[in-house]
Amino acid sequence: MSNKTFRHILAALALIALAMPVFASPVPIICTPGNKWEYDRWKLLNASIEVGGKTLATMHDASAGSSVYEVLSQEAGSSPVVYNYRETQNTKSTNGSALDTTSDMRITCGDDGLRVLSITEDSSTEKEPDKQTYDPPLFYFNAAAVSGKSWEVGMMKSGDIKSFVNAKGAGRETVTVPAGTFKDCLKVIYSSDDISGTIDMWGKSFTINSGKRRGIYWIADGVGVVKEMEVVTSGAESTGPDGKPVQMNTALCSIGELKPGYIVKK
C-alpha cells in the first residue's frame, strides 16, 4: 500500500477516532495555567480494502512519538471560569509517514467535574481546522466516577462524523509508567457503539457502516492522567467504478504513558 494511501487512511482514522481529550482527575481538576504533561505515544494500525467482498489490500503499521497536554491560559471575566487547554500529538510511522495533530479546547472545571465548551482540531492531513462548539457542553468528567458511577458525556463531533460517548468509573489500580509508579489510580472507561457520518477519500464519499471505540484512562490524585489506552474499530463503504461495493475496515490502538518532568501546580 502506497504512502499516499496510508496518509488517507490515517486521516480517516483521525476523524473516526475523534481522539478523546484527557481531562479527568479524581479530585477537582488542576487547571492552573502552566500545568503540562508529556507522554510517550505508540500506535498500531491495521487496515484492509475489500471490493465485492474480496480483500484487495491490507496494511499493518506501527508508529511512535509523543503527546503534550497543557493548560495555556484562563479567560478573563468568564463565569464560570474558562480555561484554554491544548493537546499536541506528533508520531512517525514505520513507513516514514508523519502525523501531527493539535486540539485546542475551551473547558470549565467545577466541583462536579469537567465540561468541554468547544474543540478545534488541526491535523497535518487536513487542509483546514475543524471547530466544534457544544451547547450544552460535553460532560467529559463526572466527579461521581470515584464512586463507580456512569454518565453520558454527549455527542462528540468531528467534521461530518458523530460519536455518542458514555463513561463510567471502574475502580482503582496501581500503574507503572516512565514517570514512576502511581498507586490507587482511578480507572475511567469511555465507550461508544454509535459512530456515524461520511468520509471523503480518493474523490469518493464513504459512509460509515460500523464503529466502536473504547478509551481507558488511569488517573492519579494530584497528578492527572498517567496512562491512557484507546481502541477504535470502524468500517466505511462506497461504490466502485464497476458498481461493486468498496469496504474499508480499520482498527487502531493507541497507548500513552506519562513521562518524567510533568508540571502540576495547585
How far is residue 197 from each of residues 33, 66, 233, measured CA to CA in Å?
Answer: 36, 29, 15
Q: Which of 7-21, 46-60, 113-127 has the lowest mean pLDDT?
A: 7-21
Give the model confidence (pLDDT) of 30-51 as tens digits: 789 999 999 999 999 998 989 8
- Domain range summary for the chain, segments of one domain joined by +: 3-258
Residue 21 has pLDDT above 70, yes or no: no
Compute the distance between CA of residue 140 and CA of residue 120 in angstroms, rounded to an integer.
16
Give the model confidence (pLDDT) of 215-253 as tens digits: 999 999 999 999 999 999 999 998 877 778 899 999 999
- The pLDDT confidence band at residue 54, using thresholds 50, 70 and 90, is confident
How many C-alpha atoms does 126 have within 13 Å on its Cβ side? 21
- Give me 259's grid cell: 513521562
Residue 27 has pLDDT above 50, yes or no: no
- Using alpha carbons, select from 16, 70, 67, 14 the residue that is nearest to residue 41: 67
Compute the distance between CA of residue 253 and CA of residue 250 in angstroms, rounded to an integer.
10
Give the model confidence (pLDDT) of 56-107 as tens digits: 888 899 999 999 999 999 998 888 899 999 999 999 998 888 889 999 999 9
DSSP 229-256: EEEEEEEEEEE-TTS-EEEEEEEEEEEE
Residue entry with cell 487502531: 252
Three-state secondary structure of 28-74: CCCCCCCCEEEEEEEEEEEEEEEECCEEEEEEEEEEEEEEEEEEEEE
